[in-house]
A and B are shown apart, each in its own frame.
Chain A
């Protein structure tokens, strides 16, 4: 028998056995009998009227089985891709929600917009057929940037969306903020851009659909982070397939970062096509195809103002943002730059008044939606940057100004002026820990050493908090969520005492199979190896909202914990009968049910056996079997946070920024598996560093072409960009989640961009540089140095 491996231990990951030995089962590994190949034909134009499509040559091409277009979608009466959030403006007017057809109808609105689907015997034949499709476009000017899109006379994407504004959203007490600004001793101002990002999961998106006429059932295998949500959105709202006739499977998925947490048109088209061609259809995106169709992230232009009193205390914070939505509303699109942004603008500070206006804008770009951190990195970046700007302008040390404004540990629970109430936290403790770990005291010596080599060294801080564990349904519903955000888990105890868990979250790299097994092993006292986690199949798992927003452990783990408690409760009932003791006297500990104060006991295995072999069993009061299910809807968000400190070196000759040290002390609540948490922090930090220094999705204004259309032009961070990171946790326990957990999936991406850019600005501050936009590329830094007040040689 194996060992119990419980909460706080760091076993190697269960799932790595199959991943590291090449035995994963990804969508593109799956082959179905009689399978055909599908290829999407995508718009090469950013904006154009679709005059007509001549299918004849494509249909005549060898091996081509079908060519489907927007007209076929219309003829079959199919729905448009739904948006899961409906936000409203200050007057309560709902956002503009133009239809998002799964294949373009009448117009194309971004390079990559889907125009047709070609099904053939082989991928080569489908590609050859696709090249023969004759599409008549009347090209229109594209509009890419948000500033350009809201100008008068800008190209307009939708006839009924004037100025391309989807929603003019606001949050906070505008009048209180204005009055605080009038009283302010100092006002810091900052204009910034939050750069557009492409998610780049290692596995590109893919899907296979199959229709079984004998049962009238569809199966869709898809690279999804939330198969049940795809089943609901696609079945109920797009294709009109009853839920019991649709199975959605998301098998092993090679990373998501949010890119795979939306219902994509490709899924609907393939499922629809499978029935039309009466054979399974498979599509696997290329990396380049992903670049023009995977939802992008971020893309804000922001003006921020911070009002302070003469002692550097924050009086009020005002933020005006233009957020790019791309060509259509994606599943969570309008929620990201509003509900996941505005409420985070309080940060870890006691700022009493905050006002935020966000104009959500359509442009001729790939739809923008959640990408790791989603809204919260943007909020953190604005706030942590302007705090540094204010400190510099008022001549206050950057750490000191943070301390002066920080919420003290004793003040939790803390109600912010922007909806959210933090349940717990200790930002000062994280800051102190990070200052120590980063050897901030020794920075002066290191800076001098860099100067000796002709390099500028800088240090940057980010003390941040985020809101995750998405989400309390009641709260989300008020903000415009059109669905619930709970999670479910079933704990099935087999007659021999082993356990299978069915859970609605989806593991695509996060190590759930290990973390969740540890929870069960810990609570039930069964061996770690005797617990398997099942996810990603609507036929096997009862229900689930999937994995995103650092919710899997916080919400899914809570459901699992509850279900496990129910198993224990039922086990106690069985034990009470078998041990002939009152139920209240039965204790459960370390896998044993015992009668308090006696040595009479039954093992967990014995109870499981009795549940399934009910010869001597209380049938009159209990059903046989040992399987319990729980749904958990959180009462609040969780609020992980911490302090990140970045140290950079700038080569003034070339403008190159090198990250030389990185320290993070994060409060993620209870840590189940420290190795997995560390991995999540590492990965998140690297992605945040990627945003700060390297990544940028660039479009050509006018033509709408994506100029950073491949890994040759879009720079993802690599191992050699990173120093060894120092990460540690400083936990305060969440007061409302069952295990005190807070979530750790996104903290790295949220805390790090500001820390890195603050370090770059610090390195260049002696030259009069006060802000650097992301990514801080060599060219951009060189340009700043060219324009800087001092000659470089003066250093």
Chain B
């Protein structure tokens, strides 16, 4: 009989941890000063209003204290972060035109392959700039725009100006202000009214430089009656110095439109992930968030949905896996600001080897949002006694005619469940893995296919030499 050793592994990191030798064309000095911000703006040929926006954001950043709650972020010292790292590449429309060292990174991550098989468009960002962008011509013919933010700023300046950091203003919090000052890269999508984009678009963000930050800005506008599935992936190799990710995602879902926004974050464990995402959903529109948080040392991530129009809906599905040395503070926020809006939040978190997983939800129902419905279900599983899990729900209900449900469970794997499975001949370690897989199953099912691999790695089966 084969004796196998099965352990519930961390995410298999080897794939992501490969650093490459690509040297940046330009790297800003570490730290955050007006000179640095002006320098970035000049290098990026910003229009004047954007330069002003950056400087105004810097001022907000300097005035704003870091959040007084959540995980400790004291190890983040902006004096040691280079906010702009320009790769030695110009944006290409063909992978052949992307420099070899950079292209091989994306090859390893399987991006060009996924593009061929299952995507209608791809964006690939390397450090601070997008190095590759493509979109199927059938979509451009229908008027769909999918490009990097810099190009969007040049070619669709009015639309960008009308929406850029309007949902997430720099004053929102310190790292939104930081983003406003040094943002670079990211994707822009505009789907015209009634156009259904049936195959997903995907942007991948790779931070290769040590001691640097990535501040991409994603702006998506789905016009009335249109639909889109957008996938975002992120990873970085591990360094001994702290890296920072403070991206910003702004999603506009117009009347009767649908947007599914899927993310798999798999940052290395030296990453501070302080990311801000927000969606504004109009009448009858739907935002679906699928969020997998597996990497980073510290994450603070609470995608927010503002249900602004009657009957607007939000579905949030999240899974968080905190291993050794990780403190992942994740969750979701929903604001019911119109009648008959509804939201469903369903999350699972796992902590092991001393990892900390905190689920933080905020549900607000404004006065007048009659018939609003909200169902929150968050389950946490701790795999050992060193690990921690917590749920912090905040509810602010200002309308009597609202139906709010909240269900939170924090547990450990029960000895009885293990005994039950082992009594069926299954080894204890495998029984544990089955229970963990089962725990995330309802959520794993909704992850995009492209990420099935990552999800399978979640509970990795490690086979150790066969023994009699």
A binds B: no
Residues of B within 8 A of A (CB): none
Residues of A within 8 A of B (CB): none
